[in-house]
């Protein structure tokens, strides 16, 4: 029996990196006043269809969708924002302050072709700032994301940023793109030809060389911006400048989902290979109305945790997992083994340190060897003699020094 293609067991020897990322998630979000929202991993399919858009890759090709036993269409969540908005409306999360700051982290599911940095079950950490339309809200989200990557020590990264303006401008821009690409139809890739009417923006971030060449000369959103969109975007950029956060304005950055407007952004890393996006996000000012909620302009981002770990390990910034500190050794007599169990129990409680004992009835030599292999700092030996006299031998493995102690002295040493 094997795990499902595109899913991975995260093994004990890999978990330390995950814990580092999870600690940083808790720490950085707490600095900004974001609280965790834990949504179910499945939703009614309609939630994603309505928010993400029927013409996107996610909804069109990648969702794990199935009828449940009652006949409802259920989908394993492929992304979080749609579910966050569904739940913010259902529980009126923005009622008190008119805004809500939330974060999430957990598994997501997309039926994609697995490769390095791309799985069918993967994990995301994301933040959403619900209810604020100002450029300052965009900056809060961008600096939070920036600080998070800094705190993980991910150096090989770039921030790409663009504006998708208002839905009205985007509609006009789509028409311009359709006219432009229609004039060059035969040079477009098959995939882009099929997207031309439904989602022409996506042609701009196609990786196909022919599409790329055409996109380089395609009409630019920048040339069509209204005053509001221009002002909003230039304020965001000027805040980034003041904070000395480096960025590149990338007019071809459109992001895959239908719901974005104004600021969109992506963090990439050269350490990742073909799937080079660490994460991204953007402003979604009209998604709440789409769900029948009231106007709640919002912005958020999501990072792929597997990709963060790939970038961290490429530059060797994952620290070593903590080693056990004490190994309590007993051997031969029943009294000795009994004393080991109560001593280890007391030491864990008194010192809060990781204490290991043998559970296979092995010899003194075998246990010493294991303690050495584990990189333990100190061993406490309670042989049959020591057990009789309520004493022990404490040996420091780095210096080789050892002393006999009473049990009371040992407890005092570690409390
Ligand atoms: P998206 O909202 O689709 O841009 O996803 C945000 C981030 O999640 C991406 O930049 C990736 O880091 C990560 N991600 C998305 N899909 C996958 C996947 N299939 N496998 C691994 N990570 C993914």
Residues in the chain: 415
Dihedral, CA atoms, 104, 106, 110, 116, nearest 10 degrees? 110
**Atom 8 of ligand 1 has which residue's CA nearest to it?**
304
Give the pLDDT band of residue 315 (cuts 50, 70, 90): confident
Residue in the structure block whose two tokens are 């953007």: 282
Q: How many Å lie between the centroid of ligand 1 and the Cα of residue 122?
A: 8
Determine how β-strand 326-329 pairs with β-strand 157-163.
Answer: unpaired
**Atom 13 of ligand 1 has which residue's CA nearest to it?**
304
Determine how β-strand 378-381 pairs with β-strand 326-329.
Answer: parallel
Q: How many Å lie between the centroid of ligand 1 and the Cα of residue 239?
A: 27
Give ligand 1 pocket residues (Cβ under 6 A): 79, 110, 112, 117-119, 122, 124, 256, 277-280, 302-304, 306-307
With vertex at residue 322, the alpha carbon angle to CA 318 and CA 325, rounded to the nearest 5 degrees, is 165
Q: How many Å lie between the centroid of ligand 1 and the Cα of residue 123?
A: 8
pLDDT at 96 over 80: no
Q: Which of 304, 306, 307 gets mutated to test ligand 1 (max ligand atoms within 8 A of its CB)?
A: 304
| pLDDT tens, residue by residue, 155-178 | 889 999 999 999 899 889 999 999
Predicted confidence at residue 322, as pLDDT, reads 87
User: CA 110, CA 29: separation in Å to the nearest integer?
Assistant: 26
Predicted confidence at residue 334, as pLDDT, reads 94
Contacts of 146 (CB under 8 A, 6+ apart): 159, 245
**Tokens, residue 402:** 């050892």
Predicted confidence at residue 272, as pLDDT, reads 87
The atom of ligand 1 lying closest to the CA of 303 is 7
**Atom 15 of ligand 1 has which residue's CA nearest to it?**
304
Q: What is the distance in angstroms between the CA of the first residue and the CA of the last residue of the chain?
A: 48
Give the pLDDT band of residue 259 (cuts 50, 70, 90): confident
pLDDT at 242 over 90: yes
Q: How many Å lie between the centroid of ligand 1 and the Cα of residue 279?
A: 6
**Atom 11 of ligand 1 has which residue's CA nearest to it?**
304
Give the pLDDT band of residue 100 (cuts 50, 70, 90): very high
Contacts of 205 (CB under 8 A, 6+ apart): 252, 253, 254
Give the pLDDT band of residue 206 (cuts 50, 70, 90): confident
The atom of ligand 1 lying closest to the CA of 307 is 12
3-state secondary structure of 108: strand
User: CA 320, CA 313: separation in Å to the nearest integer?
Assistant: 11
Kind plus residue range of the DSSP H or E element containing 52: helix 45-52
Predicted confidence at residue 52, as pLDDT, reads 86
Q: How many Å lie between the centroid of ligand 1 and the Cα of residue 118?
A: 7
User: CA 327, CA 170: separation in Å to the nearest integer?
Assistant: 65
pLDDT at 269 over 90: yes
Comparing 17 with 317, which gets the higher pLDDT?
A: 17
192 and 208 Cβ atoms separated by less than 8 Å: yes
User: CA 309, CA 101: separation in Å to the nearest integer?
Assistant: 25
User: CA 294, CA 231: separation in Å to the nearest integer?
Assistant: 25
**Atom 18 of ligand 1 has which residue's CA nearest to it?**
118
pLDDT at 344 over 90: yes
Contacts of 107 (CB under 8 A, 6+ apart): 41, 121, 122, 123
Predicted confidence at residue 237, as pLDDT, reads 98
Q: How many Å lie between the centroid of ligand 1 and the Cα of residue 389?
A: 61
What secondary structure letter does DSSP report for 60?
A: I
Dihedral, CA atoms, 404, 410, 412, 415, nearest 10 degrees? 150
| pLDDT tens, residue by residue, 39-57 | 999 999 999 998 888 878 8
pLDDT, mean of residues 388-407? 95
Q: How many Å lie between the centroid of ligand 1 and the Cα of residue 404?
A: 57
Query: What's the mean per-residue pLDDT of the chain?
Result: 94
The atom of ligand 1 lying closest to the CA of 117 is 21
Could you tell me which of 40, 78, 41, 44 has the C-alpha nearest to residue 58? Answer: 78
Determine how β-strand 42-44 pairs with β-strand 121-130.
Answer: unpaired
pLDDT, mean of residues 306-310? 96
243 and 141 Cβ atoms separated by less than 8 Å: no
């Amino acid at each position: 029996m094997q795990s499902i293609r595109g899913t991975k067991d995260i093994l004990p020897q890999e978990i330390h990196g995950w814990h580092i990322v999870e600690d940083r998630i808790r720490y950085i979000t707490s600095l900004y006043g974001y609280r965790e929202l834990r949504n179910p991993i499945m939703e009614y399919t309609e939630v994603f269809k309505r928010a993400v858009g029927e013409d996107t890759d996610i909804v069109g090709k990648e969702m794990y969708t199935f009828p449940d036993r009652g006949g409802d269409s259920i989908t394993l969540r492929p992304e979080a924002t749609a579910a966050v908005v569904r739940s913010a409306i259902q529980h009126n999360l923005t009622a008190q302050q008119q805004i809500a700051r939330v974060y999430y982290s957990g598994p997501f599911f997309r039926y994609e072709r697995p490769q390095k940095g791309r799985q069918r079950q993967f994990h995301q950490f994301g933040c959403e700032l619900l209810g604020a339309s100002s450029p300052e809200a965009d900056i809060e989200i961008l600096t939070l994301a920036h600080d998070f990557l800094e705190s993980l020590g991910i150096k090989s990264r770039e921030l790409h940023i663009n504006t998708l303006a208002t839905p009205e401008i985007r509609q006009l821009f789509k028409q311009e793109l359709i006219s432009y690409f229609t004039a060059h139809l035969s040079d477009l890739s098959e995939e882009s030809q099929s997207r031309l009417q439904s989602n022409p923006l996506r042609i701009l971030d196609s990786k196909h060389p022919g599409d790329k060449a055409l996109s380089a000369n395609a009409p630019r959103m920048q040339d069509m911006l209204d005053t509001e969109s221009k002002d909003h975007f230039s304020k965001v950029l000027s805040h980034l400048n003041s904070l000395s956060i480096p960025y590149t304005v990338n007019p071809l950055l459109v992001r895959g989902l239908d719901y974005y407007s104004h600021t969109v952004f992506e963090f990439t890393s050269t350490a990742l290979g073909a799937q080079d996006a660490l994460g991204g996000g953007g402003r979604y000012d009209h998604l709440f109305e789409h769900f029948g909620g009231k106007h709640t302009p919002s912005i958020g981002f999501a990072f792929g945790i597997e990709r963060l770990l790939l970038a961290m390990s490429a530059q060797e910034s994952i620290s070593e997992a903590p080693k056990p500190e004490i190994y309590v050794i007993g051997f031969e007599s029943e009294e000795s083994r009994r004393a080991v169990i109560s001593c280890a129990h007391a030491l864990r409680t008194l010192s809060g340190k990781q204490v290991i004992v043998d559970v296979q009835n092995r010899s003194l030599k075998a246990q010493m060897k294991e303690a050495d292999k584990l990189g333990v700092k100190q061993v406490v030996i309670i042989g049959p003699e020591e057990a009789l006299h309520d004493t022990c031998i404490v040996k420091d493995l780095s210096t080789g020094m050892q002393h006999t102690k009473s049990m009371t002295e040992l407890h005092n040493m570690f409390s």
